[in-house]
A and B are shown apart, each in its own frame.
Chain A
Amino acid sequence: MVARYLLYDKKEALRYFRAKENDKQAENACDEAYLKLRNEVMPRFVSARLQCRVEQGSDGAKGKIILENGLEFLSSNLAKHLAGCTEVLLFGATLGSRFDVAQRRIAVESLTQVAAAQAVGAALIEHYCDTVEEELKKNISAGNFRWRFSPGYGDWDLQEQKKVFAILKCDKIGLTLTASGMMAPVKSVTAIIGIDHQSPACTGETKSKKHCGDCASHDCPYRQEV
């Protein structure tokens, strides 16, 4: 499935670029990168909706999300996050491989530009995920949605990505996993969103950006304290 329009969130791009405030040169670099990339992104997503059961971890055993088809996601952070959920939405999204080609082309010319391009790409895919999330939540009523959570986050091992790929038809959007467990094209995201049909409607927690508290990467330059 295709998005019609991708918003360029310059503020986010500058954050990924690690620019200080009001750095005009950095802003120009991001704008320039965006202009080179905007016709190269072909965003796509695939999704699935599955029943699930959540088991919390105990005594060193990791928590589990057990899906209707028998697959299990192992992560205590995820289990805690999805406590009370009986269904999940899974999705995979990508900006496409043309983005990678453009980024390599930019890399030949300039370091600044390629770093700006990577920052712009990160902002674009994040925004795209927001729109995908919105699309998927349409027509699902009375749900208390949890914010999206991805493999590699907290104690959800990146190796578990394989399980996500086993469910989603990522082939359809040209999203693949390399032998070492990385996604190709580079600007891609997979994520899980829990649906809790029991609890009262969500309390604005669905905006997913500021949830660094659970993550083990304490040195992460993008870490945002809540």
Chain B
Amino acid sequence: VKLLLVGMNHRTAPVAFRERFAVQDPSEFFPRLLAFEEIREAAIISTCNRIEVILLLDRDRIDWGSEWLRYEFFRQLAGDEPLPAHDSLEQMFYEHREREVVRHLFRVSASLDSLVVGEPQILGQIKDAYRIAQENKALGKVLSRIFEHAFATAKRVRHETQIAEGAVSVARVAVSLGKQIFENFEGKTALLIGAGEMIEAAVKALQVEGLSSIRIANRTFSRAEHLAAEFSGTAHTLEEIPTLLQEADVVLTCIGGDGTILDKPQMTGVAKLRRGKPLFVIDIGVPRNVAADVGEIDNVYLYDVDDLSEAAEMNAQQRREAMFLAEEIILEEEAEVTRWLSSLQVVPTIRELCATAEQIRQQEQNKTFARLDLDEQQQKAVEALTRSIVNKLLHVPLVRLRESGASEDGAKHVEAARHLFGLQHEEEERNPSEGGQGEKIPVRSTSLSSGEDS
């Protein structure tokens, strides 16, 4: 059997395409995948940034699987509306086979392939994909093992590298800075000056951290009211800012217009009235809304958009550096899984070899029994003798085959064994239907060890 992965992600396809292939509920697509006999196991990963299908296929059906996924399955996902021209769509898909699938899944789970490297959500999404595939009885021994190993690898990468450390978005950097001033944001009051998208993103991040009270001051009062309704805050005019500043713990400014709206003399007065209570000011406006020298006032901590961007970029760089170590971990883990997969490939050959030997033994034994008039005791003795000879003859080749299964040359040894012992090739053995349409397999059993693939 062979592993195949076909998919598209944020690097290969724009969101306009990805959203066409996004799967809300992968469960409804498993019957279509599992209807084919050639597909032994399957999993569907669908997130905002990627849609991927992983299949465990019969060895000779991998090309068919690739084409079927691209031209049939993904088209089904896209629905009835016309898709872009064929050529451009083809470029949006990527494909991995065999150990590349393992490496890719490990990289995705460890968040090395994410839009924001090191983001933690992807692991949960992969676990969801695993769970859904399990619920739909689409997983067998092979994919289950690979997924479980992917989770362990992701955990190892997270613990042994700095891949997930440091905020990499302006909003998260603001939260991280705030946590160096306040123990937490619970019970804290934020004053938002302006009502743009940047402010919204920062407030959402702060609200996740427990920010409770929000006041919004804006030139256009209706816009302030709209945002206040969204964040359960209160709307104010710009004239109210001096009063609001006295009660605020966090000030977020991003408002258009020339000149600053908060200057040092004004903020010095506010700081005095606040009696040393710390004030965290984030100025993400361009041009800046707060005079730079406001940061010199005791207990006032001012950061502008460049400060935040610089910190975000530095953390992103740190994560990129951590990727080298993470890739090494993934290669190590991938090698382990590949060894295991290789060891599985000898199982059908061993099974077949034993079956062939037993068949020959029985044929020859029956011929002998027909020629000689042996009593029951004598027959048992002959049977034991032939069985013993066969077992002894096969013992060393079988041991060698098992040992070589885990090595890189495993496939060559399997091939050699099949040739030497005259075993039929899998392709010759099976009589695959031309269209690939086969009998539906209701429950996925452990395909490799059960010999279904040979």
The yes or no verdict on A and B being binding partners is: no
